[in-house]
Chains A and B, each alone.
Chain A
Amino acid sequence: MTRTGILQFVSFFIYVLVQALLLKNIVLFNTGFCFLYVAFVLLLPIETSALILMAAGFIMGFTIDIFYDSLGLHALSMVCIAYVRNYWLGIITPQGGYDAGAFPNVNTQGLQWFLVYTMPLVFIHHLTLFLVEAAGSLFWYSMLKTINSMLFTMTVIVLLQYLVPQRSRA
């Protein structure tokens, strides 16, 4: 296993523990949730294949589900954005393309690109999550939850980009 692989493996557990022990207890105004674990799939190297992304997303979602007593729910939303991620990366390719082995983070691509990259994916994840949980009812309330949670999650993800040293390439 390469060094990157081991680091990703360790970060998986850190994401799970932070989510389950800390962020699960923090809810703003009854509607703002922080699902930081989404960043695990979003921040994998740009060249990661869709299959690996989906597998990683599924395992992450499933583990989170165990802590949230919501079997399948987080896994479904995670697989969804893991599948969409590479298409979205393709659409927003900057001029000159990506460097080989680059990570999609603020260091390499800049803040503006990073926001354009993460915001829609986080939005899709939260929307799927809340709509599926409500089983189709409560659309507008789910929308409110989605937007509030997206702002919260995005704030934390972007802050962590500056607080935790990011590697620019594998």
Chain B
Amino acid sequence: MIVADKKPIEEIIEEVKDYTSILIAGCNECVTVCEAGGKKEVGVLASALRMYFMNQGKDVKIDEVTLERQCDHEYLEEIRNNIDQYDAVLSLACGVGVQFMAEKYFNKPILPGVNTCFLGVTEERGVWTERCQACGQCILASTGGICPVSRCAKRLLNGPCGGSSSGKCEINPDLDCAWQLIVDRLKELDRLDDYEKLTPIKDWSTDRAGGPRKVVREDVKL
């Protein structure tokens, strides 16, 4: 899922301090799981902002809504009828949702309430780590399900560098060496001969390095 982190409330206050009617829009998917922008966080932020403005002596209307997702037309349309009563929308969705909402409601300021971080997993409650960098050419079949593009600090594709020691990375000693993990897993799967196969030079044109990307599926387009 997309992992995001809450923005410090001081930063959010700076973003919204001049508006008199704000809608806080949460998202029921990834940001709910990483406890940054779901219904609960919307409620907490709304309460905090109400108190802040009350303390400043300002009369600010703050409403709450949590949409199923903010990356699909249907769900964003749900606020079409009442968005005009607000000066601004504070969206707690990931960067995707904030932008899509901004495209849809072109004349309304849409402000971000979370910092979008990476594609990752919940290792335990409160700890999220990166797993995928969306390079567009998945090679997990030959690396035993562990990605060297996202988990190796050097993005090496054919084995560890000389700095791998005791299973840890030389760049960041807190990181596991991805290639150590890959070899361990291939051993477990009894597929160590996959390790011997050379991965050719990667086609990075499908990575973000080539610019914003697009996927078109002619077989599903109506």
Do A and B actually bind?
A: no
Binding site for A on B (CB under 8 A): none
